[in-house]
Amino acid sequence: MTTDTIIEKEKTIDNKKKLQPPPKYNVIIMNDDVTPMDLVIAILMAVFKHSFQSASDLTMKVHHDGSAVAGTYTYEIAEQKVVDATDVARRHHSPLVIKAVSE
């Protein structure tokens, strides 16, 4: 291998894109007129690992503002949280809407 080849390889490595952290997604809980607040609190605690106080505060934010961010995650984790939270809601016959949106 010649010196020119080694230099060209080093230049190629230096010119490659730097890795970027994966984009983040907000998991949003939407307000409805059917789902009991106790269920929303329970979902926030079980699926999103909020404390009782934090879950209560977020539930009130959902109630007053129409929605709130339950957590921010990478895409795969956000989607799984949506599935898990929706599953809990449906098992309790709730139409609660939870979705993941990019930041």
- What's the domain count of the chain? 1
pTM of the predicted model as reported, rounded to 2 decimal places:
0.81
Q: How confident is the model at residue 12 (pLDDT cuts 50, 70, 90)?
A: low
Distance from C-alpha of 86 to C-alpha of 99, rounded to nearest angstrom: 9
CA 88 to mean position of chain CA atoms: 16
Is 24 inside any structural domain? Answer: yes
Distance from C-alpha of 8 to C-alpha of 51, rounded to nearest angstrom: 55
Is 49 inside any structural domain? Answer: yes
Is 38 inside any structural domain? Answer: yes
Distance from C-alpha of 89 to C-alpha of 31, rounded to nearest angstrom: 13
Is 94 inside any structural domain? Answer: yes
Is 61 inside any structural domain? Answer: yes
Contact 22, 79 (CB under 8 A): no
pLDDT one-digit tens code per residue, 44-97: 999 999 999 999 999 999 999 999 999 999 999 999 999 999 999 999 999 999
Is 69 inside any structural domain? Answer: yes
Q: What is the CATH number of the domain that holds 26?
A: 3.30.1390.10
Please give the residue range of the domain that contains residue 90.
18-102
Is 4 inside any structural domain? Answer: no
